Each structure stands twice: as C-alpha cells, then as structure tokens.
C-alpha cells in the first residue's frame, strides 16, 4: 500500500514539475519577444529596491491594515514551504514526518510556528474573501471596472479559497496526527501536540483509529496535491506576481518618472534635416515607430504584464478613470498579458514560431480612446506595489498611433503644426515671444498686459 | 514702484557685452504668450531684479522645449525643437537654467541630455527657496498673508515626475500664511487634467472633467488662495474656480506672484 502511495506521489510531482517547466518556458519565450533594454546597471541600488519593495513589501504598507494582512499571507507562503519540503520527502521516501527524529524537541516548536503562520494565512484570506465578496471594494467591482468581468474576478476569489482549503487541511491533519499519537498508532511516532492544532483535537475526539488514519491521509493528500495544482494554476493566474515581483522590482526603471525614453532611431534623421549631419549611405529606417503589438514593447514592459496582480491601485489613482474615461491602467496591463498569452498559444501550436493572426495589442485589445485619455501624471506608476509602469506602454502606443498611422486628434495636429511653424503650441508669431517684457516698462505692469 | 527700473537682459545682449549670467531664465511658451501666465513671468523677473540676480532670457531665440509634441506621440517635432534649442543654449554656453514651467523643467533636465544638452536645471520653486534660504529674498512683516489659508496644488511634472514636493511648500511657508493640504497631496496629488497633451485637445467622454474633481477638493480645504507652480495647472484651476463661481472668494496664484505680492513688487 505504501509503495503505491509513493508511486502516485512521485508521478504527481513529476507531472507538476513538467507542467510548470512548460509554462516557464512559454512565459520566458513571450517575454523575450520584447525589444532589448538594458536594466542591469547599478546592481547595488537595484538590489536595495528589490529588498525594500518586493521582499519588505514597502508599498503595501501605504494601507497599513491591508499591508499587514497581505504580509501575513506572504510570510506564511514563503515559510510554510519549508514544511512542504518535509512533505515532499515523506511522499517520495514513504516516511512520516522525516524531520521529527533529527530535530528532536525543536520539531514541535518549528511545526507550532508554521501552524501559527497557517492560522495567519487562514484568517487573512478569509478577511480578503469577505472583502471581495461582501464588502464590495470599489476597485474589484466589474460593474464599475469592465476589465474585472468574468475570469479576473473569479481568479481573485479562487486563489483565496485555495489557500483556505490548504490551511484547513494542514491544521486538521496535524490534529488527527496528534490524536493518533495519543492512541499509540504504529505509523505515528510521538511528535507532540502543536501550537494551533491542539485546539482542533476536540473535533476528532472519539474517532476510531481507522477513521483518524483515513482523515489524516486524505488531508495530507489534499494539502500536497492542492499545492501542486496551486503551483501550476499560479502560472496561468494573476498570482504569478508572487514570483515575478522580485525580478520585476529589481529591473524597474531608475530614471526620474518624468523622463520619457528617447528614440535614437529618429535622432539621425532630425540631424540631417537640421543640417547638423550629412546623409551617409542609406540611413536605416525603422520598420515601425512606437508600439503596435507586444513585440514592439520592451521585454520589461512584458514582464510588467505578467507581474500584474490586478489589484487596481493604479486605476483608482488615475485621473482619467476617476472621472469616467475609458482608460484604466490596470486594463492596459491585463490586455498586454492577454495578448502575450494569446501569442504564446499561437507559438505553442506552431512549433514555437509566431504566426500572424492579424491581431495586435493596439486596436484589438487596447483602443485609441483609452490611450488618448492619459494625462501622463504618473499616478499609476507611483501607486504600483511591484513597480509596474503602465504609462511607458501607453506612450509607446501613442507614438505608433501618431507617427506610424499619422492618426491624431485634429487639435493635436493643429498643435503640431504650430510647433513646426511658430515653435509654440499656440498660433503666435515667434517674433512676439519677447513682447511680455514691454509690460515691465509700464509702471503698473500687472494690470496692463496686452490682449491678444 | 514706478521708479524701479526692471531689467530683462537677453543672452544676446549679455554675449555682446562679454558678460555671463548666473542663470538663464527659461520663460516657456505659456510664460511668453498666455495672458495669465505672462503675469507670473513678470512677477518672477521682478523678484530676480530685486534679489540682484544676474540673469538673462533668450527672448525671441527661445522655442518650445517640445514637451507637448513628445507627450502626444510626435517624436519628430519634439526632437526638431529640442535640437534647435540645444544649439542655441550651447552657443551661449548656458550652464544653469531656471524655469517656472514644470514641463519645460522636466524636459530640459531629464530629456535633453540624451540629445546632447546637459545643463543644471531648476524649477522656480527650487530657485526661490534657494534665494530665500540665502537671504537674497527677504519677506518681512508678512502682513499681506497673515491669517490667509493657502492650499498648494502639486504639479505632476514637479512632484511625481521629479520628486520636488518640499521646495514649493518651503516657499509658501515663508509667507507666514496658513498652509492647508488637500486630501490628495504630494505623491498622491491629483492631476489638474492638462498634462500629456490634454491641454491641447478636448477630453475623452466621461462623467466629469478632471479639473472639476480637483477644484472640489481644493475648495473643501476652505483655502482662499490656491497656489500653483505650473502654467497648465494655472489654467485648469482657474477654470475650475470659474466653473464653481467662486472667482470672488478664491484666487489662484503662482508661487512667484505670491512672493512678489508679499514683497510689494
């Protein structure tokens, strides 16, 4: 019987590892579709940002209560993995609580600590689930935010239910285990009562040894298979952020937020037009200006998309969204990921090669009205707890719309024309630019400025 | 003040006299052409004069920095303007620039280096703070603003874009007024709605204009003066006040205007 369990376990572990490996492969491949961008300078500063923002979750504590609850889930998730190591070893070797012997009395303390974390995760996830389902937090409501319709809303709740089930399984499993120890059951050597699960023992009091063994085994399997399914599910879900938050913060932008990326491919042409340079040979004309599809964005924009956990802090800070415009920075990130997932599926179906499906990020996922509504205020960039930059994507899409498609609102075209001819966005003569100074000659300058 | 002769030397005049200014005052398009913001330009020039700062302007040799074109996606026009400006600035060996426009400030400071233009660039809030700290601008008495409530509206291109939050507040504190904050301020400050090229087009359909959302918040503070530090914010906040029919009781001023008023300039 034990050997059958071992074989099933090893098979499940193998399938899980294979599935995750496949997913990492395709996610990595789609991220690498993006353009090169060097984000390896200043490693010390980058490491410090990652430690503070991802590891220390600095920005989550902007809202202290939510920050604390989220930290409880995060700490539980990281540390309980040490116990998963024991479970995996037990599963492969057919042992039971393999660490109990070597660790002696410390084992009980360790498991007690994990149980405390598990309780923290259980309580936090329950509160989160209530917040999402009952309290109707505005930024999660599909009625107000169309990008939350369907799967994203379900995804957010599913993961919480998952965690709750896993934590209940581990706590009740320990309670049954402890009861079996009391009965002197052969397979359950004394490891002691644990900090939290001892209070759950009354639930199984009076159960027969066989019933307890059955429950302990079922809970053990639910817990570990749950973790395997969770790990695979994660790669399809918004919860990928638990892994990508680290590289995503490490490779975040270090320049001032106001600085837009330069387009050096245009500089040479401008220099020739201004007579600063003479045409040497045939200048390489870029095939496309700005970004129309995911492959035109940088790899970091694409990693941003996979790192987004759809919390919507960006969208609730966005002035365009607050005032009812179609733009939602969260939707920009979700659309970018949706497009990447679609591209990944096409690649998988065609031996790793992308085959044109006549769709593009701009047009089929994100529409012009959204990107035009942006005030470039950087509120979304400021808000993101994992340093995602939706603005960078918006501006690259705008560049495509305006330069490549030559499609801009009429009043912007007027503005461009004024800039080209008068060097000012309004229709004033460049010769009048210094006229304001004449007001200073008047004694009462403030009330005497000329009307135009 | 009629006896005071204010001087606005140009870089060309300075160069002709073999002189070098301490700082170039970059006026910007709004500061040059917009009737409301020309008053800010004049106020700032008066302050520079009274502080004895040796400054100069480019006059008709100045062009738009290209910010609105770049934000609207037109990189060609941006780079054309930027390169021309860099040529002019380098011709005069300009090293230090001050401007009253956060958009010019951001572009000159952060985006010209990639095109070969490297200057020390300050926003006028930072420069005013330096003048106050150095004792070159003294505000005595403080009768003008005593007991007045002032709220400061953060400009995105000063605040989040460049992390300048404290300089404008230090300048306002020098007025001895009662500085009150809006609910959304500093890193959380709400945009006026004009950045990113929005100044030059109609907003997309929605349920409200951004400046109305912001002015409601500003009015909630009970301030009688809304201080701004950006020509676009000035337009949006002023329109907001008009929309709420509060022009009589609530005034929108730039930092430089408030300092000039306090000094009786």
Q: Are B72 and A402 within 8 A, CB to CB?
A: yes
Residue numbers in A near B207 (CB within 8 A):
323-324
- pLDDT given at position A283: 59
Q: How far apart are CA A198 and CA B240, in angstroms?
A: 63
Residue of A nearest to B85 (CA): A423
DSSP B119-185: -EEEEHHHHHHHHHHTTSS---S-TTTTT-EEEE---TTTTTTT---HHHHHHHHTTT-EEE--SS-
A264 CB-contact burial (10 Å; exposed 0-12 / middle 13-18 / buried 19+): exposed
Q: pLDDT truncated to tens, each residue of chain A (452 aa)?
A: 679 999 999 999 999 999 999 999 999 999 999 999 999 999 999 999 999 999 999 999 999 999 999 999 999 988 888 889 999 999 999 999 999 989 988 999 999 999 999 999 999 999 999 999 998 899 999 999 999 999 999 999 999 999 999 999 999 999 999 999 999 998 898 888 899 999 999 999 899 999 999 999 999 999 999 999 999 999 999 999 999 999 999 999 999 999 999 999 899 889 888 888 877 666 566 778 999 999 999 999 999 999 999 999 999 999 999 999 999 999 999 999 999 999 999 999 999 899 999 999 999 999 999 999 999 999 999 999 999 999 999 999 999 999 999 999 999 999 999 999 999 999 999 999 999 998 787 544 444 333 33
Q: How far apart are CA B228 and CA B219, in angstroms?
A: 14
- pLDDT given at position B142: 61
Instruction: State the complex-level ipTM.
Output: 0.96
Q: Where are the alpha helices (DSSP H) in A375-441?
A: 379-383, 390-399, 410-422, 438-441
- Smallest Cα distance from A72 to chain B, Å: 26
Instruction: Assign domain B141-262 to a CATH class.
Output: mainly alpha
Domain residue extents for chain B: 11-130, 141-262
Q: How far apart are CA A296 and CA A309, in angstroms?
A: 23
Closest CA to A122 of A199, A32, A236, A17: A199
pTM of the model: 0.95
Q: How far apart are CA A147 and CA A310, in angstroms?
A: 9
Q: How far apart are CA B174 and CA B152, in angstroms?
A: 14
Nearest to B73 among A325, A401, A430 (CB): A401
Q: Are A262 and B194 within 8 A, CB to CB?
A: no
Q: B208-217, pLDDT tens digit by residue?
A: 999 999 999 9
Residue of B nearest to A396 (CA): B73
Q: Are B106 and A258 within 8 A, CB to CB?
A: yes
- pLDDT given at position A341: 97
Q: How far apart are CA A415 and CA A157, in angstroms?
A: 47
Nearest to A258 among B45, B83, B162 (CB): B162
Mark which residues 231-260 of A lie under 8 Å from B by CB: 255-260
CB pairs under 8 A between A and B: 234
Whether pLDDT at B193 is above 90 = yes
Q: Are A440 and B190 within 8 A, CB to CB?
A: no
**Helices and strands (H and E) in chain B: how many:** 11, 8
Q: Are B60 and A276 within 8 A, CB to CB?
A: no
Identify the band that residue B140 occupies on the pLDDT scale cut at 50, 70 and 90: confident
Residue numbers in B near A449 (CB within 8 A):
35, 38-39, 42
Residue numbers in B near A450 (CB within 8 A):
35
The fold adopted by the segment(s) B11-130 is: Rossmann fold (3.40.50)
Nearest to B39 among A263, A401, A449 (CB): A449
3-state secondary structure of A387: coil
A320 touches chain B (CB under 8 A): yes
- pLDDT given at position A286: 73
- Smallest Cα distance from B258 to chain A, Å: 13
A70 DSSP 8-state letter = H
Nearest to B32 among A319, A401, A436 (CB): A436
Q: Calculate helix-pair angle for A329-349, A390-399, nearest 10 degrees.
A: 70
């Amino acid at each position: 019987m034990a050997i059958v369990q071992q074989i099933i376990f090893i098979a499940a572990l193998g399938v899980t590892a294979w599935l995750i490996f496949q997913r990492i492969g395709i996610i990595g491949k789609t991220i690498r579709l993006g353009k090169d961008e060097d984000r390896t300078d200043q490693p010390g500063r980058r490491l410090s940002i990652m430690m503070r923002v991802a590891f220390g979750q600095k920005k989550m504590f902007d809202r202290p209560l939510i920050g604390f609850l989220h930290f409880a889930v995060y700490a539980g998730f990281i540390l309980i993995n040490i116990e998963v190591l024991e479970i995996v070893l037990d599963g492969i070797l057919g042992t039971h609580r393999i660490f109990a012997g070597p660790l002696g009395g410390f084992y009980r303390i360790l498991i007690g600590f994990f149980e405390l974390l598990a309780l923290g995760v259980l309580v936090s996830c329950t509160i989160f689930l209530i917040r999402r389902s009952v309290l109707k937090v505005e930024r999660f409501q599909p009625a107000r935010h169309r990008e939350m319709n369907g799967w994203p809303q379900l995804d957010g709740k599913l993961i919480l239910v998952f965690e709750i089930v896993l934590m209940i399984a581990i706590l009740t499993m320990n309670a049954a285990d402890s009861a079996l120890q009391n009965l002197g059951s052969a397979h359950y050597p004394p490891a002691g009562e644990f900090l939290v699960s001892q209070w759950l023992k009354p639930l199984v009091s009076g159960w027969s040894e066989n019933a307890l063994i059955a429950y302990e085994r079922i809970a053990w399997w639910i817990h570990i298979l749950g973790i395997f399914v969770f790990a695979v599910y994660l790669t399809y879900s918004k919860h990928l952020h638990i892994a990508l938050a680290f590289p995503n913060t490490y490779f975040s932008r270090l320049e001032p937020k106001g600085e837009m990326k330069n387009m050096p491919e245009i500089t040479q042409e401008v220099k020739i037009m201004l007579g600063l340079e003479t045409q040497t040979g045939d200048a390489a004309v870029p095939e496309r200006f700005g970004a129309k599809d995911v492959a035109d964005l940088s790899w970091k924009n694409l990693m941003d998309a996979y790192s987004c956990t759809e919390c919507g802090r960006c969208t609730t800070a966005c002035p365009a969204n607050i005032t009812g415009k179609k733009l939602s920075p969260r939707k920009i990130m979700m659309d970018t990921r949706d497009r990447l997932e679609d591209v990944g599926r096409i690649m998988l179906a065609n031996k790793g090669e992308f085959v044109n499906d006549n769709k593009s990020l701009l047009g089929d996922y994100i529409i012009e009205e959204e990107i035009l509504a942006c005030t470039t205020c950087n509120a979304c960039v400021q808000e993101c707890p994992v340093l995602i930059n939706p603005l960078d994507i918006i501006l690259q899409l705008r560049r495509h719309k305006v330069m490549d498609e030559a499609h801009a609102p009429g009043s912007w075209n007027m503005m461009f024309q004024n800039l080209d001819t008068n060097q000012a966005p309004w229709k004033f003569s460049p010769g009048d630019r210094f006229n304001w100074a004449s007001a200073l000659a008047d004694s009462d300058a403030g009330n005497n400025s000329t009307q135009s | 003040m009629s006896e005071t002769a204010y001087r606005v030397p140009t870089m060309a005049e300075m160069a002709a006299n073999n002189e070098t200014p301490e700082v170039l005052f970059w006026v910007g398009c709004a500061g040059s052409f917009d009737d409301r913001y020309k008053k800010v330009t004049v106020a700032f020039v008066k302050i520079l004069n009274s502080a004895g700062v040796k400054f100069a302007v480019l006059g008709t040799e100045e062009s738009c920095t290209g910010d609105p074109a770049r934000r609207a996606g037109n990189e060609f026009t941006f780079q054309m303007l930027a390169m021309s400006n860099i040529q002019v600035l380098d011709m005069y060996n300009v090293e230090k620039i001050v401007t009253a426009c956060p958009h010019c400030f951001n572009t000159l400071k952060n985006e010209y280096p990639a095109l070969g233009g490297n200057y020390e660039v300050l926003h006028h809030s930072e420069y005013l703070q330096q003048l106050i700290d150095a004792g070159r601008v003294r505000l005595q008495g403080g009768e003008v603003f005593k007991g007045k409530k002032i709220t400061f509206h953060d400009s995105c291109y000063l605040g989040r874009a460049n992390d300048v939050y404290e300089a404008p507040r230090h300048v306002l504190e020098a007025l001895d007024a009662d500085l009150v904050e809006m609910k959304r301020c500093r890193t959380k400050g709400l945009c006026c709605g004009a950045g990113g090229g929005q100044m030059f087009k109609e907003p997309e359909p929605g349920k409200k204009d951004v400046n109305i959302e912001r002015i409601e918040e500003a009015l909630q503070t009970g301030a009688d003066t809304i201080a701004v530090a950006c020509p676009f914010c000035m337009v949006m906040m002023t329109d907001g006040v008009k929309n709420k029919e509060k022009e009589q009781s609530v005034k929108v001023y730039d930092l430089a205007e408030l300092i000039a008023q306090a000094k009786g300039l």
